[in-house]
Structures are given as structure tokens and as C-alpha cells.
């Protein structure tokens, strides 16, 4: 067996301590599979004295994680600090420039700076690996860069945020509203104290940006994504969706159409009997459409100590084996500028929920606006009737142009009897 592959770990939160646990508990089997031992040389975190449930006494403690980039005894730096800027970004740039491999779980860093970092890595003959940045323990990056590398991809989509999926599942199962379930999710550790990145779709968008780059050979362009979250979904939407045979999911969708790429993260309604409709709780799921393979649904827990640390260690094992791949599947010089597809021009069927005053003429005015925008109603449902209180009305439509649906919803919102912003979601039969 050859010399040990030596690493430094920056960031000792849930994932960092999980990596140490895996590398110590499974040391023999990992060494056998990697063809050499993997040895932790140094660790770094904000607090040296915090009890993390792992023994750190055999490793050098580094007060400033950035100093790892200059150490001569490291083959690889494992960045688990998080954040797209600051210390994490500086450490990764420094390590790559210092001709050290980097393994990271930092989706925001790769989404915002992936092209730059890929250039640095390739220029210095080292690798930037990030399996754990997307979908936790699901090996979707490896599947796309290796197992499905023979295929031309037309789409990649799925449920990319476990927190949102958990909240939507709980809302459906308990009948409670978003804010109430979110509070429970925070107490259970499924949602952060500041849940904005999760519930407003930003976390899923970071992941979709990365998947889109691999699928279509384009430079990561986070600003090109259209992103909306689930904070406006309420218990009424969950109930009505079920009536129409749907479940609500926050989906990330990237599709290539005639050289242009649609990238959108948004709440959608999907058929209850569809594969994605069956994904519940904190689970993620990813589909990849290749032209020579019918890809099965890749599903599993998208976060947590075990799944995410497992993916980090898998990346380390690849590097110890001497496996080095282009960051986004092709040499960086071949990555193309992304040509965004105008989402407004896309066609689809829609779910439209209105909250209106129950008075004569409401449906006539709504129908007139929909007619004038070439929108045909497929189904309608209304619960209750109270002239003194707003009532919800839900419409589902036949195929319509997205821009027409958005404009119609804006005009309906401006009517006197409409008491809140309509809830508009695309129906995706996936």
C-alpha cells in the first residue's frame, strides 16, 4: 500500500465531525478501497474547546483555516465552513493555487464562483470535488459526470431541498399552515434559525445551478435562475391540490430547448401518483433525462451528518485513488456561456388560487380576463360561501403561455373583490 493521502479539514460542524467519524470508524475498509490510508493531519474551526463528540487530539489544530492552504503536508483541503464569500472562498482559492486538491460541500461557493475555481484547479493540475454540495448522500454528481457521461442531457429536475419537502409534507398531513409547521421544523433541527435560503428557494437554486452546468456544459450562472419559494403556500392550497389529484412540491427544473436553457426553482403541483409526488419528508429526488438511457429516480436524504459526510469521504477516496475529473464534466475551456430561455414564453397547465369577496359577478370578471389572455379553464372548486368573508376559489387550466398566466393573475389581483395576491403554480407531470 502506498503513502497515506493526507488531508486537512476546515469546519467542524455536523458534516465535519461526521467526516472524522467515517474516516476513523471505517479506516480499514476505506484504505482498502482507496488503495492507501487516508490520514487527517490538521483541523480548524471557530472554537477549539467545543465538545464535538470526536477525539481531535491526534490532529494539528489550526487557528486560522486559511493557513491550511500553505501547509506542505497536505494533499487535500476539505472545506466545510460554508458561505460563498469570506474565509471559505479564500481558503479554496488558496488551496487550489497551492496545488492542493479541494473537497467541499459548499453549494453556494460552487454556484457563484465555480467557473473561476474550475479555472484555478485546472491550471494547477488539481481537482475541485463537490459531491456533497448537491442532494446530500445521493451520488448525483458522480452519476452525471461518470455513469451517464455518454449521454446528451435534455433536462435535470427534482426535489432539491429537504426542509421545504418536510414542511409541505407536514402541512398536508396535519392541515396546519406554513408558519406553524416552519416553527416545528426549526425546533426539530430541519430548518435553520434564519430559514430564508431554504424556504425562499435559494438553497435549491444553488444546487440546480450546479446540476445545470454539468448537464449542459455551461458556465454556472446563478443570476440567470428564476427563483421563488414556498412561504406563500398555505393549508388551503394543500387541500385544493389534493382535491385535484396533486401534491405541491418545490422543484428545481433545468431544460435545454434549441440551445437555450430554462432554469427555474418554484413550487409546482405534481400528480399524487407520480414518482416525485411520492417523495415525502426530508428526502430529495433527482431525475436526469439522457438521450440513450431512461434514468431511474435518484432519491435519498439530502442533508444530515451521515449522508453528507459520506459524500465528502467518497470524493476524498476518489482523489486518493488518483481519479481526477474536470470540475463540470468537460475542460473549463469548453464551458459555454449560458443562453437563458425566457420562462415567459414557456407553455404549461396551471393551478390558480384566488381569495375573493363572495359577490355577484366575480366569476364573470375572472373568466373574461382569462378569456382575453387565451386561457381555458379545465376545472374549478370553491369551498364555502359567506358574503361577509373572503372565499377561496381554485382554477386549473389547460395549456397556456406562462406570460399570459402571469399577466392575467396581475389583472385579477387589481380587481376590487380580490383580497390577496393570487397563488399561481405550474402543473408538472413529472
- The Cβ-side half-sphere exposure at 118, using a 13 Å CA radius, reads 25
The number of residues in the chain equals 430
250 contacts: CB under 8 Å, gap ≥ 6: 159, 160, 161, 164, 165, 168, 201, 204, 229, 230, 265, 266, 267, 268
Helices (H), 192-277: 196-199, 202-216, 235-243
- Nearest residue to 116 (alpha-carbon basis) of 105, 134, 102: 102
Q: Catalytic residue among 152, 207, 249, 347, which?
A: 207
**Grid cell 438511457 in the structure block, residue:** 293
Which residues make Cβ contacts (< 8 Å) with residue 202, sequence separation at least 6? 196, 227, 229
Q: Is the separation of the CB atoms in 36 and 319 below 8 Å?
A: no
Partner residues linked to 77 by β-bridges: 8, 102
CA distance 19 to 39: 12
- Respond yes or no: is residue 407 known to be catalytic: no
> Dihedrals φ, ψ of 386, to 5°?
-150, 110
> Is 407 buried (19+), middle (13-18) or exposed (0-12) by CB count in 10 A?
middle
Residues 385 and 387: their CA atoms lie apart, in Å, by: 7
Question: Do 340 and 220 contact (CB within 8 A), yes or no?
Answer: no
Query: Of 45, 85, 86, which is closest to residue 65 (Cα–Cα)?
Result: 45
Which positions ≥6 away from 227 have C-beta within 8 Å?
A: 200, 201, 202, 204, 205, 264, 265, 266
Q: Which residues are catalytic?
A: 207
Amino acid at each position: 500500500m502506498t503513502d497515506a493521502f493526507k488531508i486537512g479539514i476546515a469546519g467542524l460542524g455536523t458534516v465535519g465531525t461526521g467526516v472524522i467519524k467515517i474516516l476513523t470508524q471505517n479506516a480499514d475498509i476505506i484504505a482498502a478501497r482507496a488503495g492507501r490510508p487516508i490520514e487527517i493531519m490538521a483541523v480548524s474551526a471557530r472554537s477549539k474547546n467545543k465538545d464535538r463528540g470526536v477525539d481531535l487530539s491526534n490532529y494539528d489544530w489550526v487557528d486560522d483555516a486559511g493557513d491550511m492552504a500553505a501547509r506542505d503536508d497536505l494533499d487535500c483541503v476539505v472545506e466545510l465552513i460554508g458561505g460563498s464569500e469570506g474565509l471559505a472562498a479564500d481558503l479554496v482559492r488558496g488551496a487550489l493555487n497551492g496545488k492542493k486538491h479541494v473537497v467541499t460541500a459548499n453549494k453556494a461557493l460552487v454556484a457563484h464562483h465555480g467557473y473561476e475555481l474550475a479555472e484555478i484547479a485546472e491550471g494547477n493540475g488539481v481537482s475541485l470535488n463537490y459531491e456533497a454540495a448537491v442532494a446530500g448522500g445521493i451520488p448525483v454528481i458522480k452519476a452525471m459526470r461518470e455513469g451517464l457521461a455518454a449521454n446528451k442531457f435534455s433536462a435535470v429536475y427534482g426535489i432539491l431541498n429537504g426542509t421545504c419537502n418536510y414542511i409541505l409534507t407536514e402541512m398536508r398531513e396535519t392541515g396546519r399552515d406554513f408558519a406553524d409547521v416552519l416553527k416545528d421544523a426549526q425546533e426539530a433541527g430541519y430548518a435553520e434559525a434564519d430559514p430564508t435560503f431554504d424556504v425562499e428557494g435559494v438553497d435549491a437554486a444553488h444546487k440546480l445551478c450546479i446540476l445545470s452546468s454539468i448537464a449542459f456544459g455551461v458556465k454556472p450562472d446563478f443570476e440567470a435562475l428564476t427563483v421563488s419559494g414556498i412561504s406563500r403556500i398555505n393549508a388551503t392550497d394543500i387541500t385544493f391540490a389534493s382535491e385535484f389529484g396533486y401534491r405541491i412540491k418545490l422543484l428545481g427544473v433545468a431544460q435545454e430547448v434549441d440551445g437555450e436553457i430554462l432554469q427555474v426553482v418554484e413550487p409546482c403541483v405534481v400528480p399524487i401518483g407520480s414518482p416525485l409526488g411520492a417523495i415525502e419528508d426530508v428526502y430529495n429526488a433527482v431525475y436526469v433525462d439522457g438521450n440513450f438511457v431512461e434514468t431511474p429516480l435518484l432519491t435519498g436524504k439530502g442533508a444530515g451528518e451521515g449522508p453528507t459526510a459520506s459524500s465528502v469521504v467518497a470524493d476524498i477516496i476518489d482523489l486518493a485513488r488518483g481519479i481526477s475529473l474536470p470540475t463540470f464534466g468537460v475542460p473549463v475551456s469548453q464551458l459555454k456561456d449560458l443562453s437563458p430561455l425566457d420562462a415567459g414564453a414557456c407553455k404549461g397547465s396551471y393551478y390558480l388560487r384566488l381569495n375573493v369577496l363572495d359577490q355577484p359577478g366575480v366569476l364573470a370578471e375572472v373568466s373574461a380576463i382569462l378569456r382575453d389572455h387565451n386561457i381555458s379553464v379545465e376545472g374549478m372548486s370553491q369551498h364555502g360561501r359567506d358574503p361577509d368573508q373572503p372565499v377561496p376559489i381554485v382554477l386549473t387550466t389547460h395549456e397556456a403561455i406562462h406570460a399570459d398566466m402571469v399577466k392575467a393573475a396581475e389583472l385579477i389581483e387589481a380587481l376590487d373583490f380580490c383580497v390577496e395576491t393570487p397563488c399561481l403554480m405550474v402543473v408538472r407531470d413529472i
